[in-house]
Amino acid sequence: MSRPYQEVRPSQFVITLGPGSILETGSGPVVLKSVDTLFNEIGRNPQDFEIVDKRLSRLELDGARIARVPTNAELGLPSDRTIYPTHAFPFWSLCTQHRPHQVLYETGNGCPECQSVSAPQRREKAGREAIRFVQACENGHLDEVHWHGLVHEGGGCGTKHYLWHGGGRALRLVRIECPRCHAIANFGQAYAKSWRCSGRIVEHGGRPAPTTARCVQKARIVQRGAANLRLNLLQSALTFMDMPTRLHDILNDPSLLGAVGALHRRGLLDQVALVEEAEQVGLARGAIEYLRQTNWAEISKAFDELLGAGNTGSSSLRDDELDRLRQAATSGVPTVPHPHPGSPPLFEVRQGDVRLVQGPVRRNRLRVAPVSRLRMVMVQTGYQRLDPQKAQKMSTAFDWNGTTWYPGIELFGEGIFIDLASDSLTLAGGRADQWNDRFRSDPDGDPSLHPAHVWWHTLSHRLLRSLSVDSGYSSAAIRERVYLSVQDGRVTGSGLLLYTVQPGGDGTLGGLIALVNRFEHVLSHALRDVESCSNDPLCQEAPSVGAEGVACYSCLLASETSCEHRNQGLDRLLLAENLP
């Protein structure tokens, strides 16, 4: 069936949509298939669209590689040509041309009760009024509502369609009737019940899974546009590079890096072996001569950078980023150009622009460093359905010739890094004690529940609102990245990066870093009246310290595009008791 063109930006695909998500089109909803079907469809290798970030691949993706979704322009195709494979979903539709009821039917050849309409016309209507409800479970499965079982309680009389009575203001007023045996089900009651899950992974196939593949988790009926039907799991990393652009470009060649990477990690690679391998993989003569003439210590350091070894000794991506940001705030980082000409610079921090800002009670001095250029690689690693606290993760990885890939996007922008002038953050008061108890009792040791993380996270949300007043960006356009390093129960480092990014172009225009010179005003505005909320006493009288803490939309909660922790681990009173 032909479908009207629906434009989706690559960044929108990674951040908002992805495999298994439902996309609304002019002729009805469709579900996006797995990413490997895209590259099969266009006949291209994901390596042609690879985004290289070895730190992210090594530390968070178990060595998997990252591919971006190509655009029509890159493929030389018309802008109205559909390139991403989809299939119609949900397959059941409502025909509203009948009174006093509507007709619920499998799309197929169209509404079976529109006898006066020709079959081609019925097919043309198919999918345009798709049913608003689907069935999902917390194991990540998604399928049609089992309408036959809903009406006939497991049996059936062979009917292919049903009569939909009522509607309007409440689901309990909807009755679904079988036109053959006149069995009736109340949809409101069905909506509140749990149902057997079919085990269908909708992005892998257009029809329901076989009975043998059904899952043991109970499924629920939800609206196909519900926000919790598909919750993306994203992993992101900042780019830090201190090597010359040409050296990065040569060593980053996938064939060369793959051939010599393992040798370098084991300390068995020298300059002679590198040049020989470069000749074998067919590098250009000029590149080989450049490798011969470059100091080996510089090449070895560049390999460490590319392969994620680094010199920080950090065991996690976040700890590594925190170390590098603190070094940048201390010593500055000159402009690191992108290896591809015409692209924005990768990273820059001017040491002369770093400022120390005194808090309102002068307990701590904040160090505020403007990051005038940054590159963020964002990868969609998977998604969850329904309850993120209980739901199983469904991976978006795909295999291509024995290599694992994830969909990702490259973004450029600016940011403000904030940490303490001293390394210590001392928190006191009843709320700090409660959060400390909550963190110690958590079986998973979730760092977002540590009182220091809650403090930085809460300060972040207050600053998001304050920065949006004068920066030219809405609070939804500014993102946060909270850092906390804990070793042996002791906080060894912490900080906060507030940034804004966009794909391609020249990044952003400097509205965020321009506020560093008047950050005292920004901080004062952020902490003003932090001890009170327009929803008090309801907000302040939160029953206990859980994942939420004392926070509501009036005082702390931020847009889902800004908060990387889904507004969990926030506490206004903890910040009020420990103002900087």
Instruction: Determine how many CB atoms are found less than 10 A away from the CB of residue 253.
Output: 16
Would you state the pLDDT for residue 418? 93
Distance CA 538, CA 555 (A): 12
Would you state the pLDDT for residue 37? 92
Contact assessment for residue 539 and residue 518, using Cβ atoms and an 8 Å cutoff: no
Distance CA 123, CA 224 (A): 22
CA distances from residue 320 to 55, 63, 312 in whole angstroms, order as listed: 9, 17, 7
| Lookup: tokens for 119 | 């079959």
Contact assessment for residue 246 and residue 239, using Cβ atoms and an 8 Å cutoff: no
Distance CA 168, CA 173 (A): 8
Give the mean pLDDT of 314-328. Answer: 80
What pLDDT, in 10s, does the model give residues 245-264? 567 667 767 677 777 777 77
Higher-pLDDT residue of 504, 316 = 316
Distance CA 105, CA 179 (A): 12
Helix (H, G, I), strand (E, B) or coil at 325: helix
Instruction: Determine how many CB atoms are found less than 10 A away from the CB of residue 181.
Output: 14
Contact assessment for residue 35 and residue 10, using Cβ atoms and an 8 Å cutoff: no
Band (125; pLDDT cuts 50, 70, 90): very low
Give the mean pLDDT of 425-438. Answer: 86
What pLDDT, in 10s, does the model give residues 542-574? 655 455 688 888 888 888 778 888 888 899 999
* Phi-psi sector, 549: left (phi>0), alpha (psi -120 to 50), beta: left
Would you state the pLDDT for residue 127? 39
Distance CA 334, CA 317 (A): 22
Would you state the pLDDT for residue 313? 43
Position 393 pLDDT exceeds 50: yes
Position 311 pLDDT exceeds 60: no
Helix (H, G, I), strand (E, B) or coil at 545: coil
Higher-pLDDT residue of 456, 52 = 456
Would you state the pLDDT for residue 369? 92
What pLDDT, in 10s, does the model give residues 221-238? 999 989 889 999 988 888
| Lookup: tokens for 156 | 């059936």
What pLDDT, in 10s, does the model give residues 509-519? 778 888 999 99
Burial of residue 98 (CB within 10 Å: 0-12, 13-18, 19+) is middle
Give the mean pLDDT of 79-86. Answer: 85
Helix (H, G, I), strand (E, B) or coil at 75: coil
DSSP class of 84: S
Band (280; pLDDT cuts 50, 70, 90): confident
Position 314 pLDDT exceeds 70: no
Position 432 pLDDT exceeds 60: yes
Higher-pLDDT residue of 506, 114 = 114
Percent with pLDDT over 70 in the chain: 86
Instruction: Determine how many CB atoms are found less than 10 A away from the CB of residue 28.
Output: 21
Give the mean pLDDT of 129-149. Answer: 90
Position 367 pLDDT exceeds 90: yes
Would you state the pLDDT for residue 154? 67
What b-and-e string marks burial along 559-574, b requiring 16 or more CB atoms within 10 Å of the CB? eeebbebebbbbbbbb
Give the mean pLDDT of 446-457. Answer: 89
Band (93; pLDDT cuts 50, 70, 90): confident
Average pLDDT, the chain: 82
Higher-pLDDT residue of 284, 23 = 23
What pLDDT, in 10s, does the model give residues 33-70? 999 999 998 899 998 888 888 778 878 888 899 999 99
Higher-pLDDT residue of 363, 468 = 468
Position 400 pLDDT exceeds 60: yes
Band (398; pLDDT cuts 50, 70, 90): very high
